[in-house]
Amino acid sequence: MSNRKPYVREMTRTWWKDSSFYRFYMLREATVLPLIFFTICLTFGLGCLVKGPEAWQGWLNFMANPIVIILNIIALAGSLFHAQTFFSMMPQVVPIRIKGKKLDKKIIVLAQWAVVAVITAIVLALV
């Protein structure tokens, strides 16, 4: 047996900054951070709704804060970016075949966005 130590490549904390692929991946994964804030806000809003009119009005006043509005806009942008990247990967992950032929990737992506638009219209119509 040899007494040589195995080679261990040094891994810095910023290894992902060297590749555009990994920078894009980290940006995509970071979109969860504003969504966590948005989810916590909605959870507290539901709790305030249950507590009564004063608590609900306090939550509405909090949500009207310009900083909270900016964070919610960032969360929406992050959510749309995440959805776009997910939708663009979908045809590669789950190729759809109709009568033995692959469906065009653009059709699959546009169909997904159409479903999002229809569901959004239904929710807006109900509200």
Q: What is the value of pTM for the model shown?
A: 0.74
Kindly state the average pLDDT of the residues 56-66.
96
Q: Is residue 31 one of the residues assigned to a domain?
A: yes
Provide the residue range defining the domain that includes 37.
Answer: 20-94
Q: Percent of the chain scored above 90 by pLDDT? A: 59
Between 66-93 and 53-63, two packed helices, what is the crossing angle to 10 degrees?
A: 80
Per-residue pLDDT, 1: 62
Backbone dihedral angles phi then psi of residue 97, each to the nearest 5 degrees: -115, 135
CATH of the domain at 80: 1.20.1300.10
**pLDDT of res. 97:** 87
Helix residue ranges per DSSP H, the chain? 20-30, 32-51, 53-63, 66-93, 105-126
Asked, for residue 72, whether it belongs to a domain, the answer is: yes
Q: Is residue 114 part of a domain?
A: no
